[in-house]
Amino acid sequence: MEHLLFLVHRIPYPPNKGDKIRSYHLLKHLAQRYHVHLGTFVDDPDDWQYVDTVKALCRSTHFAALSSRSARLRSLPALASNRALSLDYYRNAGLKKWVDELLAATPASPQSPITRVLVFSSAMAQYAQDERLQRRLIDFVDIDSDKWQQYSEKKSWPMNWVYRREARCLLQYERQIADRFDVSLFVSRAEAELFRRLAPASAHKTGFFNNGVDIDYFSPAHVFDNPYPSATAADGPVMVFTGAMDYWPNIDAVQWFARDILPQIRARQGHADARFYIVGSRPAPQVLALAALPGVHVTGTVPDVRPYLAHARCAVAPLRVARGIQNKVLEAMAMQMAVLVSPQALEGIDARPGTDLVLADDAAEFADAACALLADQDQLKQLGACARRKIESSYGWDAQLAVLDQLLESRQPLNFAMNESPQCAPTH
């Protein structure tokens, strides 16, 4: 087995949020084929307990502690330059020293030096500039610069100025990295196509692989106890949202649903008892405040989201700001659930509205669609069955990650054909 450097902005375990789900499955895939040397940050104190689990998959590791407060302060000097704040946020002397020493000492044998690197997220590319890394791939996952641009459109001054600046500076850096690296990958066809337009000089080596789902873990075959209390007749059907609840797009989504959509649903005849459960870790104060509204419940961290999916009437994903693929949608579909999504939540997912899931745009459409689902058990079952089939046929992790093997070993120039296979197989 040859050696590979894997640089990730957040410890890839546990797989309990979007980026960590993807990076964990990447690590598992790579560990079967390479001696992996992992450099990563730990930004949640609870995650230090998982260090040994991650080490078991790697040849060597370096875990750098990341305090969000200290990182934000460290980023401030970048405001006086054209440098993206994100780069200084993830700047760490210890991690840089570990990478430098790893490549200089190369614990691999002389016949198997570390010449390959896979970078996960744009900010980690700053640690992969050494010329001894002859094969460099980056999984941008999402276009972070465009995410900051979306944030700026939803915020007021001065944060909208900060976010616009970050979008501009980070895009400049993303273009530079794409130009220097051999391959740039994204989480969906739509994300890759947008980046090809934003960075046309690197379009020929820009591709994607979709997120997958552990279809055995997220399966309707499992039996779970009902986690929802139903002590009174007023405890009606549940609509559930899952996700990390300190993430601003999720916060915005549940606020919109709880304040603007759920009251319309409960005002309709026959749906006064409808409930909305917000299930996810670290709920922000804005999320906790929603529990004071009629029919809204906030669970906080739960040991397993699957019971909450299995016993809900439907899942909702009313995101208004989103990048890439929403794992919450794929996981609910894998659980054979009817899922009600916004256009932003559907982006990048190969699913047919009206067949595999339900699409709604504004608050009135969401309320109409939710009431229709709550009233029609047959439609719920049909949508759930189609959703599960779609996941089984298109979103297994093995199929999605197979593209990496060829890309990491290729020695020929790549030319991605965006209109070919879902994984954008390179043509030589």
* Whether the predicted pLDDT of 259 surpasses 60: yes
323: tokens are 């990048």
Give the separation between CA 327 and CA 334, rounded to whole angstroms.
10
Residue 112 sits at φ, ψ, to 5 deg, of -130, 65
**Structure pTM?**
0.84
Lowest mean pLDDT among 11-15, 40-44, 228-232: 228-232
pLDDT range class, residue 415, cuts 50, 70, 90:
low
- Residue-wise burial string across 227-243, b where 16 or more C-beta atoms lie within 10 A, e elsewhere: bbeeeeeeebbbbbbbb
Name 298's bridge partners: 278
Give the separation between CA 51 and CA 29, rounded to whole angstroms.
18
pLDDT range class, residue 324, cuts 50, 70, 90:
confident
pLDDT range class, residue 419, cuts 50, 70, 90:
very low
- Mean pLDDT for the stretch of residues 211-219: 94
- Mean pLDDT for the stretch of residues 26-30: 97
Cis peptide before 45 (omega within 30 of 0): no
Q: Which pLDDT belongs to residue 393?
A: 92
Q: Which pLDDT belongs to residue 114?
A: 93
240: tokens are 């559930």
Domains 2-212+396-427 and 238-394 share a fold: yes
80: tokens are 């006086």
Lowest mean pLDDT among 14-28, 298-312, 395-409: 395-409
Q: Which pLDDT belongs to residue 420?
A: 43
Q: Which pLDDT belongs to residue 424?
A: 36
CATH of 238-394, one of 1.10.3720.10, 3.40.50.2300, 3.20.20.70, 3.40.50.2000: 3.40.50.2000
Q: Which pLDDT belongs to residue 423?
A: 40
Element (H, E) at 172: helix 159-180
User: Would you kindly state where each structural domain of the chain is located, as residue ranges?
Assistant: 2-212+396-427, 238-394
Q: Which pLDDT belongs to residue 417?
A: 52
- Mean pLDDT for the stretch of residues 245-272: 96
Q: Which pLDDT belongs to residue 232?
A: 55
Q: Which pLDDT belongs to residue 421?
A: 38
Task: State the Cα angle at 51 between 185 and 408, rounded to 5°.
Answer: 25
- 2-212+396-427 placed in CATH 3.40.50.1980: no
